[in-house]
Amino acid sequence: MTYRIATIRGDGIGPDVVAEAVKALVAVSEASGFDLDFIEATMGGAAIDATGSPLPESTLAACKASDAVLLGAVGGPRWDGLAGRLRPEAGLLGLRAGLGAYANLRPARMFPELAAACPLRADIVAGGLDLLIVRELTGGIYFGDRGTSPDGDAAWDTERYSRAEIERLLSVAFDAARDRRGRLCVVDKANVLDSSRLWRKVATEMAASRPDVATSFMYVDNCAMQLVRNPRQFDVIATSNLFGDILSDEASMITGSIGMLASASVGAAGPGIFEPIHGSAPDIAGRDAANPLATILSSAMLLSYGLGRKAEAAAIESAVAAVLAEGMRCADIATGASGELVVGTKAMGDAVVAAIRAAARS
């Protein structure tokens, strides 16, 4: 069997880290006996430079014709002066909307080997950390009515959600909680926002027919505090586009580094989008200094959620754990502890590939 993978390397460190994820995917496919056809496409700043558009029609068409999309980070300061609809990030929003990828799954799991890199006290994260943020991705303030007054002295962005948008996102979150530890926390700002009150109403109605999932509610400001006070209380968090964007970045730092967090953006139909949650970091682009593990772990999510290859996904995750157990670290997760070996992007990718192949031979 051959799977088509639309590969968007992106901007900044995007090409650096995507290259290592591709190596890991090739290694696991060779070990398991299936083929991958990587279809190169462009988006973001690179696409603006080449075509004038952050999301060329040819890229969207290539993604729709693929089984999954592997994406590096997009954007950078060189394009900051462009109008909003022409910025690299507009390409990302357009891709998510074009593929109907309305649910963003962002796991925050702390590998035991990286406990020392966690900024929280050891007793707070004793026993590990494993939570999942399910973020609504194609609605809310990022897609609502927006504008700037003619004199430039006022601007607005509108938060709007429909029942249907909330229900489909929460369905994903309830299913995820059922497959994990059976707890779902819906995060909102229902004491202030009408849109959040709708979220809470819909979630309450849906929870009544799902007694196997313990459902709770929390205001977003309290959730931000609880993530650093007692993150182990959470299993699955479901929330809106803006709140999910912020909370998932906070959760990433609790695990040790944003360079470790993967994500999957999926919908009811069409291929999913698999990408690290970190940015393009243009200051270290091409310097063999970026941590590729978030993108490699995103490729594991591609296998699991995109292709239904759960065993192969587990092989990549096990290889990452094995490499960390050996003491290999990129600069962002290095603590200076005895036994650590700080390596660059390519060496870390090579080590993961070697671990995949070693496990396949055993």
Cα–Cα distance measured from residue 294 to residue 277, given in angstroms and rounded to the nearest whole number: 8
Q: Characterize the bridge pairing of strands 183-188 and 236-239.
A: parallel
Active site residue 157: no
Catalytic residue among 142, 161, 235, 305: 142
Q: DSSP E strands: which ranges in the chain? A: 2-8, 35-41, 68-71, 103-109, 130-136, 146-148, 155-157, 183-188, 214-219, 236-239, 262-266, 272-276, 328-329, 341-342
Position 339: which residue type? G
Active site residue 189: yes
Active site residue 212: no
Query: What CA–CA distances, in Å, run from 149 to 66, 82, 83, 155?
Result: 41, 18, 15, 6
Catalytic residue among 11, 188, 245, 332: 245
Task: Count Cβ atoms below 10 Å from residue 350 Cβ, excluding itself.
Answer: 15
Q: Reduced to 3 states, what is the DSSP secondary structure of residue 233?
A: helix
Active site residue 245: yes
Catalytic residue among 157, 221, 283, 288: 221
Q: Characterize the bridge pairing of strands 236-239 and 35-41.
A: unpaired
Asked whether 267 and 105 are in contact (CB, 8 A), the reply is no
Catalytic residue among 130, 175, 249, 350: 249
Catalytic residue among 23, 161, 189, 305: 189
Q: Which residues are catalytic?
A: 142, 189, 221, 245, 249
